[in-house]
Amino acid sequence: MARRGKKYNEVRAKVDSSRKYTLDEAIRLALETHYARFDESVDAAVNLGVDPRKADQNVRGSVVLPHGTGRTPTVLVFAKGEKVREAEEAGADFVGGDELIEKIKSGWMEFERVVATPDMMGSVGKIGRILGPRGLMPNAKTGTVTFDVGKVVKEIKSGKVDFRVDKAGVVHVPLGRVSFPAEKIRENFAAFAETILRLKPSSAKGTYVKSVAMSTTMGPGIKIDVNEVKAATAV
């Protein structure tokens, strides 16, 4: 087991690992227990009662966080014709077609999100083995394969995040930064909670939301009462 530093152990002592906190308590604790000198991210992890191996239970989606994540991602758009200008005017950092595909094949990866128009997907598929493992492949389920590139680029720049259940059945999503007021983190969590509940597969049996935790980049995990997920959407 890796040894933890003194600062981590000090803040870890403030969290009762046997207790499940309310959402407001968890947010307060997360903001109190961060200790790094940089503006740490505040993240949520939700363990779902689904089997990711089954296609109809592979929970995947996106949500526009009302207050963003605290940083603006670099966006690449694969498009041609009039859609190139639309993407550029919306704030895309890189826009193009085959020339960008060749550049990526050569090892260039200076972008964090990718959007593509449907008529470009045949070409984008050629670099699927590069983008896919990094979670960058455009996908219609997350709205990143679309002709409405201007709208999607603006949403991504303003706080749209994609998420997908991992092999262990856990969904991870950023909720903001420790510099955010608690209320903004709560409202971002509420937007995510509404989305994750709406995406519940009809084939999923038993308990859907099994556990919830919150943490900062360097801080300890804080368990949250699962009832808070539904309660957050009712506020």
Residues in the chain, how many? Answer: 235
pLDDT at residue number 2: 57
CA distance 206 to 190: 23
Say yes or no: 91 and 153 in one domain: yes
- Are residues 175 and 60 part of one domain? yes
Residues 219 and 206 in one domain: yes
Q: Are residues 10 and 39 in the same domain?
A: yes
CB atoms within 10 A of CB 162: 18
**194 within some domain:** yes
The full 3-state SS of 84-127, as one line of letters, equals HHHHHHHCCCEEECHHHHHHHHCCCCCCCEEEECHHHHHHHHHH
Cβ-contact 37, 218 below 8 angstroms? no
| pLDDT score for 235 | 53
The DSSP code for 218 is: S
Classify residue 1: in a domain, yes or no. Answer: no
Query: Which residue, of 105, 127, 157, is where some domain finishes?
Result: 157
Residue 116 has pLDDT above 50, yes or no: yes
Residue 224, domain CATH? 3.30.190.20
48 and 112 housed in the same domain: no
With respect to residue 204, please indicate whether it lies within any of the assigned structural domains. yes
* pLDDT for 204: 87
- 194 and 153 share one domain: no
pTM: 0.82
Which residue range is the domain that position 225 belongs to?
Answer: 6-69+160-233
| Domain boundary residue, one of 136, 157, 178 | 157
- pLDDT computed for residue 36 by the predictor: 85
Residue range 66-112, pLDDT digits in tens: 999 998 999 999 999 999 999 999 999 999 999 999 999 999 999 99
Three-class DSSP category at 112: coil
pLDDT of residue 11: 82
Which of 3-17, 175-189, 219-233 has the least mean pLDDT? 3-17
- In-domain check, residue 53: yes
- Do 43 and 97 share a structural domain? no
Element holding 45 (H helix, E strand): strand 41-48
Under 8 Å between Cβ of 232 and 224: no
For residues 112 and 182, state if they share a domain: no
Work out how many domains the chain is built from and give that number. 2
Distance between CA atoms of 26 and 93, rounded to whole angstroms?
Answer: 36
Domain boundary pick from 123, 157, 191 = 157
Mean pLDDT value across residues 212-229: 93
112 located within any domain:
yes
Average pLDDT, the chain: 92
Same domain, 208 and 222: yes
- Dihedral through CA 195, CA 199, CA 200, CA 202, nearest 10? 150
Q: Do 82 and 148 belong to one domain?
A: yes
